[in-house]
Amino acid sequence: MIESKGLAQVTPEESYGKPSHLFGLWMAVNVEFATITTGAIATGVFGLSVWDAVLAILSANIIGCLLLGLFSTFGVDYGMPMMIICERWFGRFGNRVLSMLTFLNGFSWFAINTVIGAYFIQHVVGAGLVEGIAGLTAVQVLIAIIGHDFIIKAEKVFFWFLSAVFSVLTVLTLSHITQLPIANPGKLAMVGGRSGAFLLTVSVMLSWLGGWILFSGDYSRYLRYQADRTALKRGVFWNACLGCFVSSTWLEILGAILGGTIALKTPADLFAPWLPAWLRAPLIIAIVVGTISPNVLNIYSAGLSALASGVRLKQWQAALLTGGIGFLIAVMTYRNFYRNYELLLFFLGYLIFPRFPVMAIGHARPRVSRLAVVNVTTAGFLAWLAGLLCSIPFWNQPPVFVGWFAVDFPRFGDISFFVGAAVAASIYLAITAAAPQSVVAADAGGT
């Protein structure tokens, strides 16, 4: 059945599923070639040694996956899509703006994953890139249109198949790599040296997770059972956190090992020529499934975000719109892939990360505004905006834009995410205060 719930709240009577399903879901969406491609940036683009890359990947994934686990519990508490929940903290107008940006995030990631899948399909079977993009788009949109229940069931199957194929691929890769990549002085010099490359890698990996964090509550909202809510949330937190951490860390490290051993121009360059013929068929299937697995989430959640921004469509129509826009973006950006990919990762991160402290603080305890002329939801939106604007001097994306701090101190790489989040948190705490206990009790009753 095609899901028709849309943005409506899930009632406890409509709840179904188990927290353990989230482990398989977040494993499946990251066990794909796009994750390997992201890890390859650390060594193949920034020039880190493999050990520095591993440390950067671990640092980013610990932070990002803890956030994903935390925000996954929001689905249990509120039973609504993430972008509807956010209206509590950013207000009606502010949340419509942010929902539209999240819609941008969803179809952009859809385009990136589809391009990566198309490159590998071209490499293996010789199909044209545009034809590969079109075929993948059609399948992905169909699954997303059917909706939440089918996505959860499909990801369960994807999890076992992709884990098996990529485990074999990992063993074969490691058995053929005779020397781990060392630092590349020429590439390091272009990004501010070792520290600059390390911090850029941390930011890239955080941006990879940032989009998933924004969508996380969409896939736990049907777990809104009435009984033993505390234990349920604990299970949701750890299953989501560990599923995402294991998969993203595993394949990003594999990508970092591969990225430093080849000349990296397109994602298909990661496809090792020594892979045995018997792996060819399952690998082709894994390429297709590994592209579909994350992208059905991107389409589904981006469609919900479009609805939350005020677009007047049915849920299946919003999913179709997302896939259509994503297809056009993919066709326009598949050339010069790695440069476009890096720019997109950072741009989305600039917009996303100042939101997280406002969401976490507002969820922990309802807030009230300290300012008579600003209500508490406007305060949340202003805190996000201030965090975004204050991060601009730290942006480091040549040749598009380099802020004055990044120009003067290239060894800091791009620390915009951390600056934006810190500023947003500080301003939100400064212009709001914890609500009185009577307000907290009333809010809990409403939830």
Per-residue pLDDT of the chain (447 residues; tens, 9 = 90+): 565 666 778 888 888 888 998 998 899 888 887 788 889 889 988 999 999 999 999 999 999 999 999 999 999 999 888 888 999 999 999 999 998 888 887 777 777 777 777 777 776 666 677 777 777 777 777 777 676 677 777 778 888 888 888 898 888 888 877 778 788 899 898 888 999 999 999 988 998 898 889 889 988 998 888 778 889 999 999 999 999 999 999 999 998 988 777 655 555 555 666 677 787 778 777 877 887 888 778 777 878 888 888 877 776 677 778 778 777 877 776 666 656 666 776 787 888 999 999 999 999 988 999 988 889 999 999 999 999 999 999 998 877 788 999 899 988 988 999 999 999 999 999 999 988 866 555 565 455
* Cα distances (angstroms) measured from residue 344 to each of 80, 156, 189, 378, 413: 28, 29, 22, 28, 16
* Cα distances (angstroms) measured from residue 51 to each of 37, 48, 81, 321, 416: 17, 8, 39, 42, 24
Look-up: residue for tokens 């060392």?
A: 182
Beta bridge partners of 397: 401
Break the chain into its structural domains and give their ranges.
14-342, 353-447
Cα–Cα distance between 201 and 206 in angstroms, integer?
9
Quote the DSSP letter at residue 368.
E
* AA letter at 31: V
Smallest Cα–Cα separation from 219: which of 335, 342, 68, 63? 68
Cα–Cα distance between 44 and 181 in angstroms, integer?
9
For residue 148, the model assigns a pLDDT of 65
At the topology level, CATH places domain 14-342 in Hydantoin permease (1.10.4160)
Cα–Cα distance between 178 and 249 in angstroms, integer?
22
Q: Is 375 helix (H, G, I), strand (E, B) or coil?
A: coil
For residue 283, the model assigns a pLDDT of 77
Beta bridge partners of 368: 433
304 by Cβ neighbours in 10 Å (0-12 / 13-18 / 19+) ranks as buried
For residue 233, the model assigns a pLDDT of 94
For helices 148-176 and 280-308, angle between their N-to-C axes, nearest 10 degrees: 140
For residue 333, the model assigns a pLDDT of 66
For helices 87-125 and 129-146, angle between their N-to-C axes, nearest 10 degrees: 140
**Token code pair at residue 282:** 């399952």
Residues in the chain: 447
For residue 378, the model assigns a pLDDT of 92
278 by Cβ neighbours in 10 Å (0-12 / 13-18 / 19+) ranks as exposed
For residue 34, the model assigns a pLDDT of 79
Rounded to 5 degrees, what are φ and ψ at 87?
A: -65, -25
H/E stretch holding 188 reads helix 185-190
Rounded to 5 degrees, what are φ and ψ at 29?
A: -75, -15
